[in-house]
């Protein structure tokens, strides 16, 4: 007799999404989370915490607050649909506001470009920095990316994992329009001439941890969800999304146990899941959903039968998406200074974008001249920093860990200085302005989140077959075991992992 219908391992966004859908369908759910709080990679940190190092010896009495993982939220409709499944309205749980401008882009030649929700505003800036043809090219690119979304959405994003059979649902004449054979960059340069615009549009490859010079042009679909759909921010911070999912889980009767690391997934001799072992005790269920990195499940949680061992080796050999180097900075505001004004989302571009990705993916090294992303939630939520200060989340793409090529222990402090100096070269002088700071290397990200090799978005998307190779949401070796989260279909990112929970839940519900 099972204790629960379904046990979910991990209260990341994907795990909570699956829990909401299964509980809304009447299942008895146990959600086990090894950390103190749900959210997984979506986490928050406050400077009052003991871990913060103060560069100026301040005690931390005035509090900064940062979101640690995701900062850019797109695809509002995915969140609305999740709450609707449970008979609720998103706006009763989250105040998801559009961000304007979507992002402010800074180039090394001093060019500044705001990409806005307001298309005419964006187009007039594109005309200023480029030429009239690029205005038409940008519009044609937006239509092209929207078309890819229309064609691929039902097969690759919003439904069960793609198979050769499901791919055949795409009408024959539409297939070339999915553009799988060019690279993202190859397609982008056919639309716009400005190197600034090419760099800007190529950047969307990094939303799945890839390179625009390697990833298939199909991934230009990511630009559609941001440029046509907009960027959103939940008032109070990104972590409000995790809290909203948690609240809904609790309202639906999901039993959440935190500080509970699952030690083993229990499997019968004939290959059926039986439950999990946690704190040395067996807890039984008809199904188990793992919201843990799939490579880790095969490595650490499943019995090593021949079939599982074979899959484990395959998963460990797969190329990971990129990782990140993060600086959390408490910064004195620069009101009145002559430097460039930052907004909520800011990108400081490298000079040679191709070289940057060659270093990350080809050489496994940190780029000499990185593109730097800075998110400042205190622009929207003043109380995220003490008066006269701001909370900066600084992110640079980094190679995933592979044990040898980049020695973070030796090089982290120097790389931190390189990032600060690069910002200075862009006119953003942080001398004497940093009052609190904390650094996260890929090894820290791996340690904190369980992400295999510190990869932010699971396996690499730098390959046109990646969508087919990504682990399915149903385990092939153990009956009754399912997967959700960024390392499984449809991929990484907050809306996508929310959808992965939907796919896993639908598979379970159709089992009975
Ligand atoms: C630095 C960074 C920046 C990012 N930026 C963005 C962004 O701007 N926009 C965006 O959409 N996405 C972004 N992402 C990606 C996004 O955060 C993830 O795709 C998403 O949050 C992952 O959710 P998940 O469901 O895969 O679960 P995870 O967040 O991976 O959570 C898995 C959970 O399982 C728990 N767990 C693991 N092992 C066990 C065990 N044995 N027993 C019990 N519990 C266990 C973990 O503690 C964790 O809580 C970013 C990620 C990072 C790290």
pLDDT in tens, 316-357: 888 889 999 999 999 999 876 666 799 999 999 999 999 999
In angstroms, the CA 386 to CA 148 distance is 44
Q: What percent of the chain has pLDDT over 90?
A: 81
Read off the pLDDT band of 48 (50, 70, 90). Answer: low
Q: What percent of the chain has pLDDT over 70?
A: 96
- Residue 512's pLDDT is 63
Which SS3 state, helix, strand or coil, does residue 294 take? helix
Q: What is the mean pLDDT of the chain?
A: 92
For ligand 1, is residue 238 a contact (CB within 6 Å)?
Answer: no
Is residue 473 a contact partner of residue 161, using CB atoms and an 8 Å limit? yes
Average pLDDT rounded to a whole number, residues 351-374 = 96
Q: Please choose from 292, 372, 374 the residue to mutate so as to test ligand 1's pocket, defined by most ligand atoms within 8 A of CB.
A: 292
pLDDT at 70 over 50: yes
Dihedral angle of Cα 505, 507, 511, 512, to the nearest 10 degrees: 30
What is 4-41+238-318+460-509's CATH number? 3.50.50.60
Q: In the chain, which residues fall in CATH 3.50.50.60?
A: 4-41+238-318+460-509
Read off the pLDDT band of 385 (50, 70, 90). Answer: very high
pLDDT at 37 over 80: yes
For ligand 1, is residue 458 a contact (CB within 6 Å)?
Answer: no
pLDDT at 215 over 80: yes
Read off the pLDDT band of 52 (50, 70, 90). Answer: very low
Pairing of strands 262-267, 273-278: antiparallel
For ligand 1, is residue 10 a contact (CB within 6 Å)?
Answer: yes
In angstroms, the CA 370 to CA 90 distance is 37
- Residue 54's pLDDT is 43
* DSSP secondary structure letter of residue 279: T
Give residue 40 CA to ligand 1 midpoint distance, Å: 4
pLDDT at 202 over 90: yes
* Residues with Cβ within 8 Å of residue 238, at least 6 apart in sequence: 42, 44, 67, 69, 70, 71, 73, 377
Beta bridge pairs of residue 324: 397
More confident residue, 221 or 460: 221
Is residue 83 a contact partner of residue 93, using CB atoms and an 8 Å limit? yes
For ligand 1, is residue 241 a contact (CB within 6 Å)?
Answer: no
For ligand 1, is residue 394 a contact (CB within 6 Å)?
Answer: no
Beta bridge pairs of residue 373: 347, 395
Q: Which CATH class is domain 43-72+80-113+322-456?
A: alpha beta
Q: In the chain, which residues fall in CATH 3.90.660?
A: 43-72+80-113+322-456
Give residue 12 CA to ligand 1 midpoint distance, Å: 6
For ligand 1, is residue 321 a contact (CB within 6 Å)?
Answer: no
């Amino acid at each position: 007799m099972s204790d629960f219908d379904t046990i979910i391992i991990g209260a990341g966004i994907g795990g909570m999404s699956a829990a909401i859908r299964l509980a809304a369908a009447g299942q008895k759910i146990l959600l086990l989370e090894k950390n103190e709080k749900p959210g997984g990679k979506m986490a928050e940190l406050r400077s009052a915490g003991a871990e913060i190092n103060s560069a100026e010896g301040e005690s931390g009495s005035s509090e900064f607050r940062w979101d640690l993982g995701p900062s850019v939220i797109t695809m509002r409709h995915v969140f609305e649909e999740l709450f609707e499944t449970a008979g609720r309205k998103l706006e009763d749980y989250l105040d998801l506001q559009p961000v304007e401008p979507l992002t402010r882009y800074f180039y090394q030649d001093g060019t500044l470009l705001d990409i806005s929700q307001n298309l005419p505003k964006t187009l007039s800036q594109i005309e200023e920095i480029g030429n009239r043809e690029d205005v038409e090219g940008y519009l044609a690119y937006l239509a092209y990316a929207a078309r890819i979304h229309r064609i691929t959405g039902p097969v690759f994003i919003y439904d069960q994992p793609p198979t050769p059979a499901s791919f055949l649902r795409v009408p024959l004449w539409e297939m070339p329009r999915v553009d799988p054979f060019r690279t993202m960059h190859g397609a982008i340069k056919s639309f716009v001439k400005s190197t600034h615009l090419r760099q800007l549009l190529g950047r969307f490859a990094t939303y799945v941890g890839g390179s625009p010079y390697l990833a298939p042009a199909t991934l230009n679909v990511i630009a559609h969800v941001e440029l046509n759909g907009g960027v959103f921010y939940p008032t109070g911070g990104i972590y409000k999304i995790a809290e909203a999912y948690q609240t809904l889980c609790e309202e639906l009767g999901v039993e959440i146990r935190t500080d509970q690391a699952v030690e083993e997934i229990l499997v019968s001799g004939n290959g059926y899941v039986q439950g999990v072992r946690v704190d040395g005790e067996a807890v039984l269920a008809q199904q188990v959903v793992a919201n843990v990195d799939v490579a880790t499940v095969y490595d650490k949680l499943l019995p090593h039968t021949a079939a599982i061992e074979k899959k484990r080796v395959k998963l460990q050999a797969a190329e990971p998406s990129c990782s990140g180097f993060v600086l959390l900075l408490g910064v004195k505001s620069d009101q009145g200074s002559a430097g460039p004004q930052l907004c909520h989302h800011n990108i400081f571009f490298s000079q040679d974008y191709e070289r940057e990705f060659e270093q990350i993916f080809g050489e496994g090294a940190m780029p000499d001249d990185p593109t730097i992303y800075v998110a400042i939630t205190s622009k929207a939520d003043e109380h995220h920093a003490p008066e006269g200060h701001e909370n900066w989340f600084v992110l640079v793409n980094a190679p995933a860990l592979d044990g040898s090529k980049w020695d973070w222990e030796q090089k982290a402090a120097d790389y931190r200085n390189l990032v600060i100096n690069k910002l200075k070269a862009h006119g953003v002088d942080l001398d004497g302005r940093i009052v609190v700071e904390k650094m996260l290397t890929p090894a820290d990200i791996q340690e904190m989140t369980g992400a295999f090799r510190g990869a932010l978005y699971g396996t690499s998307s730098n390959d046109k077959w990646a969508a087919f190779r990504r682990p399915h949401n149903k385990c092939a070796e153990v009956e009754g075991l399912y997967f959700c989260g960024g390392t499984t279909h449809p991929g990484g990112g907050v809306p996508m992992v929310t959808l992965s929970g939907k796919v896993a839940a639908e598979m379970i519900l159709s089992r009975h």
